[in-house]
Every structure is written in structure tokens, then in C-alpha cells.
Amino acid sequence: MNLKQKYGQRALVAGASEGIGAAFSHHLAAEGMDLVLISRGREKLDLLAASLRNTYPVEVDCIYADLSERDVAIKIKEQVKELDIDLLVYNAALSFIGAFEKNSIEEQEQLAQTNMITPMNMMKLFGEPMLKKGKGAVILMASLAGFQGSGFLSAYGASKAFNRVLAEGLWYEWKSRGVDVIACCAGATSTPNFIDTKPEKASPFAPKVQAPEEVVSECLKVLGKKPSFISGRGNRIASFFMQKIMPRKMAIMIMGDTTRKMYRI
Ligand SMILES: NC(=O)c1ccc[n+]([C@@H]2O[C@H](COP(=O)([O-])OP(=O)(O)OC[C@H]3O[C@@H](n4cnc5c(N)ncnc54)[C@H](OP(=O)(O)O)[C@@H]3O)[C@@H](O)[C@H]2O)c1
């Protein structure tokens, strides 16, 4: 059974125009699902939508919206109106690399809105009809940075922990009602956003950087089977040592030291 047969006709990808979001969009369209794609910028999103329509026999709608705005989830729900959303991917995130105190209160609130409040509101607004129908799926993008305190990514890491814990809780609440929920915990992934940060290799033992397509195909394989998962074998091994073998303090030190080295802080 493919994703369309299992969940339904249409998926919504929030943060779709590039990187992991674009890879999700391609994969879902290849499975025959119609799409609603969201990003702020029009140009890249329109190009992606055109390429998907040319490649696959699917309908693609675009919504240009800023997921950091208050009440944006309600506005998006109003815009899609009669279209049933059967699979929701919340991919967009805001991250600040560097000292926590350098960001303004407004910037921190923008991060909280984009990374926590909007995905939580979208889960409620789009999850309710899925529960009524007794089928559907939600994927929240989380990160290895959310498994312990992640110095110089502190607020971002905390927001990714929120997504993992939210998805895991709703996996339990919704699994008996036909709705699959998963937190996709990625490690370093070669998205335009990641490449723009110009990261340096922090250690010869650092796990391999994954391609967005690898993260997406691993995630869609385990959707419905697990409440959360870590993509990439190297990331799973690193996480095993950091979470199961090392004292928590050591895991936090390694994470902070790695980010310091990667970003020359
Ligand atoms: N890349 C990594 O190494 C990595 C590692 C672990 C976890 N993750 C997680 O994977 C997800 C994707 O990361 P990414 O690196 O691909 O980059 P990203 O910047 O989080 O996502 C890029 C996509 O989201 C859209 N977007 C960003 N902010 C938005 C906003 N406020 N409103 C609407 N759309 C917005 C962008 O388009 P516009 O700019 O046009 O809006 C673009 O389409 C994130 O949740 C991230 O936490 C990434």
C-alpha cells in the first residue's frame, strides 16, 4: 500500500521550497499525492510547483505565508478550506547559531512561533479532521540538537526537543484512531540553509552529512511504525553513545564543543 492509498489524496508541506521540504514534496508527488506547499518566498516555491506538475500527474497549490506570524495556522486552514489534508509535514524552522543572549526577545519569540507554536496549532487544526475520518499522518521535523542541551544552538535545540516530545505524545494518543505521527530527528543535512551556515568539519568521527532525499525516504519508510526516529546510520550510532553510554554532562559538552568548532565561535 502506498502513502496515497494509506492516508489519502492530499499532503501539505509547510516549508516546502527547498531542502528537506522540497524532497518531501517530490517524494509525496511521486506517490501520486496532490500537494499544498507553503513558504514565504514565491519564486522558488512557484518553480518547485511547476516542476512537480510537469513531472507527476498531481495538483499542486501554493500558499505564500510566514510561519513565524501569530495566528498563521488559522489563516492557512481558512485558505485551504474545502481541501482535505491527509498528510501534514511541518518542516520549516528558525535557528540562531551563537550566544543565546545576542538575540532579541522579538527574535526568540519568532523562533518559538515558527518552531513550536505554529506546528502545534497546525497539528490541532489539521489533525482534528484526520481523527474524524480515522486516517491521516503528521510528520514533525526534529533534530539531534534536541536530544540534550546544545550550546550555541540553545533555543533551537530546545524547540526541536519540544517537537519530538509533542510528536511522541500524539503518536500515542492518535495511533488507535488511525492517525500516524512521527518526529523525524535529522542530523546534519546538506540543505541550502545548512550549506549557507558554512559549517566546518568538527571531528574526523563526525557522522556523514546526509542528503535531504535520504532523510525523507528513511522517514517515510518508518512512518506509522515508530513515534520518532533518527535518520542516518552514523547519526544513530553517535546518538546511541551520547544518550545511552555517556553521562548526560559529557553529551552536552560534546554537543557544545562540536558547534563551537563547526562555527568557529
Ligand atoms: N539542515 C540540517 O542540517 C538539519 C538538521 C537537523 C534538523 N533539521 C530540520 O529540518 C528542517 C528543514 O531544515 P532546512 O535546513 O531544510 O531549512 P529550513 O530553513 O528550516 O527550511 C527551509 C524551507 O522552509 C521555508 N521556511 C523557512 N522559514 C519559514 C517561515 N517562517 N515561513 C514559511 N516558510 C518558511 C523556506 O522557504 P522560505 O525561506 O521562502 O520561506 C524553505 O522552503 C528544519 O525543521 C530543521 O530544524 C535540519
Confidence of residue 202 (pLDDT cuts 50, 70, 90): confident
Q: What is the DSSP string of 155-203?
A: HHHHHHHHHHHHHHHHHHHHHTTTEEEEEEEE-SB--HHHHHT-PPP--
Q: Which residues are CB-contacts of 93 (< 8 A; sequence separation ≥ 6)? A: 15, 114, 115, 141, 156, 159, 160
Please, which pLDDT band fits residue 81 given cuts at 50, 70 and 90? confident
The mean per-residue pLDDT over the stretch 179-192 comes to: 98
- Return all residues near 200 (Cβ < 8 A) that are at least 6 apart: 261, 262, 263, 264
Q: Is the model's pLDDT at 205 over the cut of 90?
A: no
Q: What is the pLDDT of residue 142?
A: 98
Whole-number CA gyration radius for the chain: 18
CATH number of the domain encompassing residue 37: 3.40.50.720
* Domain total in the chain: 1
pTM of the model: 0.98
Q: Taking a C-beta distance cutoff of 8 angstroms, is the pair 101, 148 a contact?
A: no
Stretch 246-259: mean pLDDT: 97
Name the residue range of residue 113's domain. 3-262
Q: What is the mean pLDDT of residues 197-222?
A: 94
Q: What is the pLDDT of residue 203?
A: 84
Q: State the angle between helix axes of 154-175 and 105-112 in degrees (0 to 180), rounded to the nearest 10.
A: 20
User: Which residues does ligand 1 sit against, CB inside 6 Å?
Assistant: 15-21, 38-41, 66-68, 91-93, 114, 141, 143, 160, 186, 188-189, 191, 193-194
The residue whose CB lies within 8 Å of the most ligand 1 atoms, and thus the one to mutate among 12, 18, 62, is: 18
Pocket test for ligand 1, best of 12, 13, 17 (most atoms within 8 A of CB): 17
**Could you identify the atom of ligand 1 that is nearest to the CA of residue 160?**
47
Locate cell 514565491: which residue? 42
Closest approach atom of ligand 1 to CA 41: 40
Q: Tell me, what's the pLDDT at 204?
A: 84
Name the grid cell of 162. Answer: 519540544
Is 185 within 8 Å of 144 (Cβ atoms)?
yes
pLDDT (0 to 100) of residue 66: 98
Which pLDDT tens digit goes with each residue over 15-34? 999 999 999 999 999 999 99
Query: Which residue from 40, 68, 75 has its CB within 8 A of the most atoms of ligand 1, so it is best to mutate?
Result: 40
Pocket test for ligand 1, best of 12, 68, 94, 143 (most atoms within 8 A of CB): 143
Q: Report the separation in Å between the CA atom of 87 and the middle of ligand 1, taken as the mean of its atom positions.
A: 18
C-alpha 163 – ligand 1 centre gap (Å): 14
The residue whose C-alpha atom lies closest to atom 43 belonging to ligand 1 is 17
Q: What is the pLDDT of residues 91-127, one digit of tens each?
A: 999 999 999 999 999 999 999 999 999 999 999 999 9
Beta bridge partners of 181: 138
Q: What is d(CA 172, CA 166) in angstroms, rounded to the nearest whole number?
A: 10
For ligand 1, the distance from its centroid to the CA atom of residue 92, given in whole angstroms, is: 4
Cell numbers placing 21: 521540504
The pLDDT value recorded for residue 79 is 96
Average pLDDT over residues 75-87: 95
DSSP strand E in the chain: where? 10-14, 34-39, 60-64, 87-90, 136-143, 179-186, 228-230
* Distance from the alpha carbon of residue 193 to the mean position of ligand 1, in angstroms: 7
Minimum CA distance residue for ligand 1 atom 46: 93
